[in-house]
Structure 1
Amino acid sequence: MPQAQTLNENQLRRVLHYCRTRRHFARDQTIVLFSFYAGLRASELAALKHADVFDSEGEVRNQFTLSTSQSKGGRARTVYLNQRLRKALADYAQQQHSMPHQPLFCSQKGGHFSANTMCQLFLDVYKAVGLNNASSHSGRRTFITRLATAGVGVRVLAELAGHSHISTTQRYIDVNSDQLTAAVELL
């Protein structure tokens, strides 16, 4: 099975632009941004609660911990939120009236998404913009690849991704012609 497509900045912009046309635009756009800027899996996004991301005053946390029940492999891990994602979450919160124990992202039925339904949301969005090789893992692969391209070491990447082994993380890093061109220019 081929790996999920990594997206460039133009493709991400197309995805976000399309999300603005959807019925639950703020939710869908925030889900996509979470995938690309925190590298979370679909199952982890589906399991998030409002209190995971927001403190008791409703402010976006700089970081939070995914519990063992929320993450893959039964390992808790800290998720760090960059400035762009924190802003998107603050904007999203202004449109929501969530209680701390409620899902961060509610399905159309009002409860948590299932992992499969979250995966389907990604597939629907990517298919609508013509990204047929993209999946719910595309944001995660793009997150890891972009950080690797920026020079972040594989040990740090493994910690951010929640991988026990750096060999797993290395499989996520996509190599493209822009990176190869930039590499030879270092000589």
Structure 2
Amino acid sequence: MQREKLLLKIRLNKRVILFSQEKQQWTIYLLSALASKNMPAYTERYISLERFCSMPGQAAILKDKDIQNIFQVIPSPRNKLLFAIGIYTGLRIGEIVRLETDQVITENGTVRNKLTVKRLKKRGTVYSDIPIHPKLRSYIREYALSTTLGTWLFPSDRSASGHIERVQGHYILRSAYDALRLDGTKTHSMRRTFLTTLSRMGVPLRTVQEMSGHSSLSQLQAYLAVDPEDTRDAVHRLKY
């Protein structure tokens, strides 16, 4: 490790991530191993740049054109709605597949004005109210007309839970990303795109946090992506 020419060093949670010019790979060193005096005991794992970009918290931000293209390549109303909920509410894929029909549609068949999500936190139960975007509303209506809705918004006869599992949601989205060859994307790209876009639009972070469900503003801020254009514009605003 010491002989390698390191171009980048990032500390992520309990790991130190290094990039080796010699090996052209990212290396993850567990901090517990780095603290050891026994060099052979180091725990390391080599991964590609693409794999690094798709790690949790590092999912690529989707551009407007990417989002349009994804809707075009996803074939069914159900799968389109799965993506639409992610990109217009910022819910995690695990939260999306567990949605119940009455969370988005009333008893008389109309689409609700907001989506209420129940989240269990250390400090207790937290409820997040997320307004339903007009485009999301249209995808909900399209899906409702294409199927018979029951308890679960995304039901599955093959699952013991009664709804599609998270792994199936991953597969649906991964198929669309791969078809468009979108590097660094994963299911978490929907959530990260939603929250980062709101932040870049100037929405107060406290408001964004209300929808994201993060326990603190510091957690949310570490989650958001920084656009180089934003930093350049910030400097150019200086008047002195």
TM-score bracket for the superposition, by shorter chain length: 0.7 to 0.9
1:88-133: CA deviation from partner (whole Å, max 9, x where unpaired):
211221112113x2x2123474841112222232222211210131
**TM-score, length-normalised on structure 2?**
0.67
CA contact (8 A) 2:119 2:213 kept: no
Question: C-alpha root-mean-square deviation of aligned residues, in Å?
Answer: 2.2
C-alpha displacement of 1:82: 1.4
Residue segments in structure 1 that go unaligned for 5+ positions in a row: none
Query: Which structure's residues are more often helix, by fraction?
Result: 1
| Distance in 2 separating the partners of 1:90 and 1:112 | 19
What amino acid does structure 2 have at the position aligned with 1:29? K
Residue segments in structure 2 that go unaligned for 5+ positions in a row: 1-51
Work out which of the residue numbers 63, 73, 92 in structure 2 matches 1:18.
73
**TM-score, length-normalised on structure 1?**
0.85
- The alpha-carbon distance between structure 1 residues 64 and 13, as it changes in their structure 2 partners (threshold 3 A), is closer
What amino acid does structure 2 have at the position aligned with 1:18? V
| Distance in 1 separating the partners of 2:191 and 2:136 | 14
| Distance in 1 separating the partners of 2:110 and 2:83 | 20
Is 1:106 the counterpart of 2:155? The answer is yes
Query: Which structure's residues are more often strand, by fraction?
Result: 2
What amino acid does structure 2 have at the position aligned with 1:76? Y
Is 1:90 the counterpart of 2:145? The answer is no
Question: Could you tell me which residue of structure 2 aligns to residue 45 of structure 1?
Answer: 96
| Distance in 2 separating the partners of 1:185 and 1:108 | 57
Is 1:137 the counterpart of 2:205? The answer is no
Q: How does 1:20-169 map to 2 (within 5 A)?
A: 22=75, 25-68=76-119, 75-99=126-150, 101=151, 103-107=152-156, 109=158, 111-169=162-220
What amino acid does structure 2 have at the position aligned with 1:105? F
- The alpha-carbon distance between structure 1 residues 14 and 181, as it changes in their structure 2 partners (threshold 3 A), is farther
Q: Which has the higher contact order (CA 8 A, sep 6+)?
A: 1
1:12-69: CA deviation from partner (whole Å, max 9, x where unpaired):
11111111xx3xx111111111111100100001101111110011111011322347
Work out the number of aligned pairs and report it.
178
| Distance in 2 separating the partners of 1:182 and 1:30 | 35
What amino acid does structure 1 have at the position aligned with 2:153? L
| Distance in 2 separating the partners of 1:185 and 1:94 | 50
- The alpha-carbon distance between structure 1 residues 160 and 168, as it changes in their structure 2 partners (threshold 3 A), is same
